Amino acid sequence: MPDHVMDIIDPSLLIERNDAHGDGDRYESEIRARRTTSYRHGSPIQATRLEECLVSVMQIGLSCSAISPTERGQMDVVVNKLKAARDSYLNLRRRREE
């Protein structure tokens, strides 16, 4: 799965929106029109870091959904991993805007 994260991720997660109450129809059109791989218009390093963030979040989600509670991550560890993924993504996004 880690090598195919961009193939399975919901394209709507990659649409950046600045307005929370924007035109819903336009937003839906953007999702349909924009292929997931088109996000890679940045540098290859940025695309790789984005994929790493997404893989990290997916791995955390999968580990939290283990059938046996003893196989699930402890919440303090999960929260720290999610914060690290968030910070990594925000740093990536900040660099794209420069």
| Structure confidence at residue 77 as a pLDDT band (50, 70, 90) | very high
Contact 68, 46 (CB under 8 A): no
Task: Give the range of the structural domain holding residue 75, as residue numbers without chain letter.
Answer: 42-97
In a domain, 6, yes or no: no
How far apart, in whole angstroms, are the C-alpha atoms of residue 46 and residue 49? Answer: 5
Give dist(CA 88, CA 56) in Å, integer: 10
Residue 79 within any structural domain of the chain: yes
Asked, for residue 9, whether it belongs to a domain, the answer is: no
pLDDT tens-digit readout, 12-30: 776 665 555 555 555 555 5
pTM, full prediction = 0.65
Write down the pLDDT at residue 51. 84
> Would you say residue 57 lies in a domain?
yes
**What tens digit of pLDDT does each residue of 17-76 get?**
555 555 555 555 554 444 444 444 556 777 788 888 888 998 999 999 999 999 998 999
